[in-house]
A and B are shown apart, each in its own frame.
Chain A
Amino acid sequence: MPNNKDQVHQEEVLETILKNVGTKKEDSIKILQEMQKIFGHIPIESLKYISQKSNEISASELYSVATFYNQFRLKPLGKNLIKICHGTACHVRGAANISKTVEEILGLVSSDTNSNKSEQSDTTKDQLFTLTSVACIGCCSIAPAAMVNEKIYGKLTSKDAIKILEDIKMNRNYNIE
């Protein structure tokens, strides 16, 4: 439960978002996207607050939208978001092996679609990494690909994946030659 200070801060942020985006039904997705940009995920408490401030959006409808789209997380994000691409080209070029490697090293099972809304954790205990898979980031020619935070890595091997994780842990920037 957020304490009072957090709650006030959260409400201030939500107020700003609603002022900038709007409170109409059609603004629902944009509101959630802005919330996620700032908080890293969608705090459940915020849905009630928004429905109080909007004539057109109910908390349950907002919840149904938040759980429908893959982009939205209901659980807090780790410091580094790893998205391993599982598009067709990446699959054919060995994305399954990359995922397996990263899962094993981080001790996680990667989340995708709705499983990040379930009990299973996709974030390491030290909150350093969140591991997800994404359907396709459109970089098929450099398959297998992955995104770490907003950076795209291509032509990955399991070996590269290990190095990227190590470098993040050691705070280095990784470039694949």
Chain B
Amino acid sequence: MIKCKIFEGSCGKAAGSEILIKEFEKFTQAENIEKPGCIGMCHYEALVEVYYKGQYTLFRNVTEKDVLKIITGLTTDRGIESSIEIKIVATGKDSFTENYKNISDSYLKQQTRIALRNIGIIDPMSIDSYKAKGVGVSGYKVITDLLKNKTEGNEIINILDRSGLRGRGGAGFKTSLKWHLAKENKATQKYVIINGDEGDPGAFMDRSLLEGDPHSVLEGLMIAAYTIGANFGYAYIRAEYPLAIKNFKKAIDDAKKAKLLGENILGSNFSFDIKIKEGAGAFVCGEETALIASIEGERGMPKLRPPYPPEKGLFNYPTVINNVETLAQIPWIIANIEQFTTLGTPQSRGTKVFALAGNITRGGLVEIPMGTTIRKVIYDIGGGPETGYKVKGVQLGGPSGGCLPDYLLDTPITYEDIQKTGAIIGSGGMIVFDERTCMVDLAKYFLDFTEKESCGKCTFCRIGTLRMKEILEKITRGYGVLDDITKLESLAKSIKETSLCGLGQSAPNPVLTTLEYFMDEYLEHIEQKVCRGKRCKALIEYFISPDRCTACNLCSKSCPANAIIGKTKEKGSYKVQTDKCIKCGVCKDVCKFNAVDILSKRDEKSFAEIYGKN
């Protein structure tokens, strides 16, 4: 009898996990197919673990066509054919979903998973699975013990204080202090809120936690509520995460059925209930006061602080807002406080989850102790850049963060060390880029984002980011002048100093860090009108090499702008009409002979000399 586990998160679904489930149902009954949440090894999606006759085998990048081959390979004498054999990640007598240590693959082995301890191991849709299979701490054991022992809130705060836990959402504020301020307040009504508005492009750890281990976040929230004396909570989850909303709703329903939510939980004096509020698409709502405004039904515009939320927050009551990753860690930390204090550095204790993506071989979720170097994450765990390319740099902290060059990769990842470079850890997004990225284009991309997401309240954020964006547009179109750089720096300073909230205060960071570390690219764009990354559409041209082109006509047929002319089978006749070309890249994608080149002004000259201009 075949049993299997198909890991299902949003990426797994995108990689076709639903189709795989249908395929496997042809060979085994539906109840033999389990669906744990995503394990965070995104580069291996779709991942499937198959059990047959006492042996567990983990397969990666499984497609619909592979299923029959896997079944045949495992259950007949024919054995596993080579195309499937290379997809085996690990095989053994123990299920890999019981314990990460069963997977010898270096990706997981080198991680220290606390927030991510359960994803891929438990069934996120089952509260019993959370209770029974929780790694390092049984599900809901911590809150149960706290209630049973009537533990004082101050005792919990002391444990958190010892842990040194800092908010994992980006601000890095000390969690114990936040809870302490709210607890001390004498107000009769208090609130706790899960900040699930993971808006940083490039961050997906909160999504994975809400999808794959929602109960750990819920339990963390309950512990916060119990500590500060709150009886009601909100889970603010962004609308762009439908699966996270669905799975978290199920977790709430199941907790209610198990009497872990509601009046007098487990016979104690603690009553707690929670409601989900969906975000409506506003990056700024990740900021605490904007999030509160959103829950109150208003435009998500930040407010002046003080007063801070733990003093006056939702509906003017003391409110503790914690990030998803922070909350997921709480139960484990309380149960394993001694162990937690051995991880990280004095100012940056514990572990942090990073969402590794971009031009990287093994992208996915990586949780490592603070103090690990960027280089270790990118090379040892992430497998380094894609074949044939070199790491040019890494972007940390999303649109609030900065772009660091390759020579800073030995920087240890701690709040203090990263801040010194001009970047921030932020939510943990880590985007690796190689020489195919243009730094000016990347800076413009971030400004584009923050300018659109600016709520508009502060003049310099509202108009300043627009002006900075316009200047970068100018530069990427080849009309930049040296004075533009001075203007960018001066605007950046003003925006940072006069903005009310973190969005404006950090919006200029990507520009400032690229100016500091990649100035030569700005100068090339301005002085030579050259884009070395070959991204800026105004500064590049698509060119069909007469030597490699076989005149098969595929590019011309596929071109959505009808910009390629030529005669089939007539070598040398194919040309890209530059006035019609929209530089979409389809021709390069479809060409089977690698005959399409992207030329920057620098190359163009030499090609023009050899072949004559198109």
Contact = CB atoms under 8 A, between A and B. Distances in A.
B437 interface: yes
Given A69-B300, A93-B359, A101-B560, A140 B280 contact: no
Interface string A152-177: 11100111001000000000000101
Interface stretch (A10-18, A27-35, A121-129): A27-35
A159 B240 contact: no
Given A71-B281, A89-B358, A159-B589, A175 B19 contact: yes
Nearest to B204: A138
Given A72-B280, A139-B11, A154-B15, A88 B358 contact: yes
B395 interface: yes
B437 A92 contact: yes
A137 B240 contact: yes
B36 interface: no
Contacts of A158: 584-586, 589
Nearest to A68: B299
A68 B282 CA distance: 8
A30 B278 CA distance: 8
B357 A94 contact: no
B513 to A, nearest CB: 14
Contact of A27 (B281, B297, B537, B558): B297
A138 B585 contact: no
A97 B14 CA distance: 20
B203 interface: yes
A71 B561 CA distance: 31
Nearest to B359: A92
Interface of B: 10-11, 13-16, 19, 42-43, 45, 63-65, 198-204, 207, 239-242, 277-283, 294-300, 355, 357-359, 363-364, 395, 398, 429, 431, 433, 437, 442, 445-446, 449, 452-453, 455, 535, 537, 558, 560-561, 582-586, 589-590
Given A32-B280, A140-B431, 12 more contacts: A64-B299, A71-B281, A86-B445, A87-B202, A100-B584, A104-B584, A137-B240, A137-B241, A154-B11, A158-B585, A175-B16, A177-B63
Q: Which 4 A-B pairs have the closest CB atoms?
A: A141-B42, A70-B281, A87-B201, A69-B280
24 contacts: A25-B298, A29-B297, A71-B239, A86-B445, A88-B357, A91-B442, A101-B560, A113-B452, A113-B453, A135-B453, A136-B202, A136-B240, A137-B10, A137-B241, A138-B207, A138-B240, A139-B10, A140-B358, A140-B363, A142-B15, A158-B586, A162-B558, A175-B64, A177-B65
